[in-house]
Amino acid sequence: MRRITKLLAGAALGLAAIPSVALAQDTPAAEESPDEIVVTARKREERLQDVPIAITAVTAETLEREQINSVREIAAFSPGLNITTDAVGRAFMSIRGVGTTLIDTVQPGVGIFVDGIYQTNTSYLNNPVVDVARIEVLRGPQGTLFGNNTLGGAINVITREPSDVVSGRFSASYADPDNYQTIAGSLSGPIIEGVLRGRIAAAYHSHDGFSTNTFVGGDARPLENQSVNGTLVWDAPQNAQITFNAYWDSVQGSQTAYSAPAGPTDYVQDVQLNVNSIATYEYWGMNGRGEFDLSDNTRMTAVLAYDRKDGQAVGDGDWGPIDFLRVTDGRNERDTYTGELRFDTTWNDRLSTLVGVFANYTTSTDVVARSVMGTPTPPTTSTQNQTSQAIFATAFYDLTDTLELSAGLRFDHQEANVSGTVGQYSADEIQPRVTLTQRWSDNHMSYASIARGFRGGGANTPGGPLPFYQGDSVWTYELGDKFTTDDHTLTLNTAIYYNDYQHYIGQNGLTPTLQAVNLNTGDVTSYGVEVEGIWSPNEMFQLTGGLTYNRARITDDSDFEAVFPGGLATDLILFQPDWNFYVTPTVTIPVGDDNIVFNTTVSYKGERAGSSLSSTFQPQLDSYYLVNANLAYEHGDWTVALWGTNLTDSEYYESYLDRSLLAAFFGDASPLTHNLGIMGDGRRVGVRVSARF
């Protein structure tokens, strides 16, 4: 196996060294053109190039090519999206600079949806991606149609619909050096011809990771995912359609398994913990969607969903070899109920409307048992309840044959409370959006939009300095352009924007008893430009890329300073780079009826701020490049590929917190006080086999 691995590594590195081949991409034969992709960004099916929103659609081909096994890994292929993680049960996400928090009890600033169903927690970002048709990333506030907690944008995961004919897919991957393996398959087709269609998919993935616990032994950051999901579609009489989805996911992996680096440029993969920090989460749920024609011009959509999360974790609570603090049993249970009803009406050739109501109820219970210097302490229990109701409406009006005005308004009411805290958080918010769209031709449009987004606040665990924190909001002003040449060889989409945030929820605080305190920072301004493009000059070559410049800065940290005197050490946003980009060229060489496809993706993330509780010092993380490559042979419905990720073995930190976190509890001179870091994955090289019928 080692000899094979060396041969694979040599071939992949050789591919990366050839400029005309190293910049390449997968297909089957080439990435789907944006003017062919249909999205549901405005709760309607529309061509991606016709939607006046900055949106990226990551296709199934990209997911397979880049070995993407979780939603969080798509960030490298979507301008403006930034996702980091330090535990299998949570992730930190932002779009255009805002949305990142370090504690997952804060509601996300970027909404996550699966087949249109809202997910209340960022833990879903680490769940498996199974039989997905595409992932849509919508940038800018999407509150009018998608609801609160989408002030940065929304991520919508769309699974494949059951087909009218029997079809199936299968794929398997293996890579070293960390025993990386994935196997996935799906089957779809008619159950009752013309009446009932079904689809079932399953996947398994595991890897050992690149980190070892050198103190007690074992893999420090392993991962194992198992997933099953299925869909039934009843094509009912009178153009009605009933869809039922169900899923089960099991995710086991590391839980804040931090190393102890000397600084942000001291790259340390291995950890020294008294116990391996491992968490296991099970997710399951079901949802139903019905679509009915109420009249010749009105179609009603009704959605009901239930989602359940069960988690259990153990781990080292002081992240070091001295056995001072352990989490002996951490449990989380979360139940979420969601309902939505909307009516899409076409009044005449120029006017249509989309109106609806929405409700969501979530209850989450955390139980944490710890030991201090080997002595158990009484477990603590905290239950948080959140409710949200909304009514929304958007009108689409063609002022002329080429000029469209859309105007929407959403009213949200939200409440939250935590057991043991007197009172509750409550908010009533209005989220408007106005967009003017000019269609210069069938392949060229420009738009201007003004929108307001809102994220709900909440309650902290009792005993801290701040029982409740308020929500944050943003006004966004955006100009965009989407252009495709008449011969469809070039597509270029651009957007420029300015964001004005109030009461931004960002860096959390910490009490002397290591109790996290969620709170508002103050005001933030961000502005920037996003560019995406695809160039396909001939059938043999395609170049895809995206670039973002986003300058997000804190302009006022008085909200933070009012709770923790001294304020913040910098005006930078956590983990948010000013620059990032990716470029993916593809070379396809016909060999008879078959194809040889060369692919390489180069992505870049700029310098960014790590986390600190100091009012005078902020750690800075270096920029880095990642290089992924594929060499695939396509024969009919079969593909065999040699692939590699992070081929240059770049070293970088996914998450980094300086010593001020532990110093707040143990003191700066204590041997328990040190920096905390989690590095990204190293180089992998492997093979992939896939087939479809």
Rounded to whole angstroms, the Cα distance separating 300 from 343 reads: 5
pLDDT of residue 643: 96
Task: Quickly state the pLDDT bin for 436 (edges 50, 70, 90).
Answer: very high
Both tokens of 368, joined, read 């944490």
Residue 655, φ and ψ in degrees, nearest 5: -140, 140
Is 30's pLDDT higher than 80?
no
- Mean pLDDT of the chain, nearest integer: 89
* Average of per-residue pLDDT across 256-268: 96
- The CATH number assigned to the domain with range 2-692 reads 2.40.170.20
pLDDT category, 504, cuts 50, 70, 90?
very high
pLDDT for res 73: 86
Taking each continuous run of H as one helix and of E as one strand, the counts in the chain are 6, 40
To which residue do tokens 């409307």 refer? 353
pLDDT (0 to 100) of residue 447 = 98
φ, ψ of residue 643 to 5 degrees: the values are -135, 160
**Residue 26 predicted with pLDDT over 80:** no
Tokens coding 624 = 């880095």
Percentage of residues in the chain having pLDDT higher than 70: 94
Tell me the whole-structure pTM to 2 decimals: 0.89
Bridge pairing between strands 351-372 and 325-346? antiparallel
Written as one letter, the residue type at 552 is A
104 pLDDT higher than 80: no
What mean pLDDT comes out for the span 581-588? 95
Give residue-wise pLDDT tens across range 144-154.
Answer: 988 878 888 99
Q: What is the pLDDT of residue 589?
A: 97
Mean pLDDT along residues 61-77 = 83
Q: In this predicted structure, what is the pLDDT of residue 485?
A: 95
232 contacts 198 by C-beta, under 8 angstroms: yes
- Identify the helix (H) or strand (E) that includes residue 65: helix 60-65
| pLDDT (average), residues 76-88 | 86
Question: Nearest-CA neighbor of 220 among 681, 690, 662?
Answer: 681
Could you tell me the CA-to-CA distances from 152 to 68, 337, 525 in Å, in that order?
23, 23, 13
Q: How confident is the model at residue 100 (pLDDT cuts 50, 70, 90)?
A: low
Mean pLDDT throughout 452-465? 85
Give whichever of 43-52, 99-108, 320-329, 680-689 has the largest mean pLDDT.
680-689
Say whether pLDDT at 670 is over 60: yes
Neighbours of 589 (CB within 10 A): 11
Residue 60 reports pLDDT greater than 70: yes
Residues 6 or more apart whose Cβ sits within 8 Å of residue 583: 23, 543, 544, 545, 601, 602
What's the CA gap between 640 and 119, in Å, rounded? 35
What are the boundaries of each domain within the chain? Answer: 2-692
Tell me the per-residue pLDDT of 538-549, one tens digit each, with 9 for 90 and over. 999 999 999 999
pLDDT confidence of residue 442: 92
For residues 426 and 418, is the Cβ–Cβ distance under 8 A?
Answer: no
Which residues, listed in sequence order, are joined to residue 137 by a DSSP beta bridge?
56, 155
Three-state DSSP class for residue 578: coil
Q: Average pLDDT, stretch 420-426?
A: 84
Better pLDDT: 36 or 647: 647
Per-residue confidence (pLDDT) for residue 34, from 0 to 100: 63
Rounded to whole angstroms, the Cα distance separating 396 from 417 reads: 38
Residue showing tokens 């081949």: 21
- Strand 110-114 to strand 153-159: parallel, antiparallel, or no bridges (unpaired)? parallel
Mean pLDDT is highest, among 449-453, 463-467, 573-577, for 449-453
Q: What pLDDT does 9 receive?
A: 35
Cβ pair 494, 481 in contact under 8 A: yes
State residue 10's pLDDT score. 37
d(CA 143, CA 136): 16
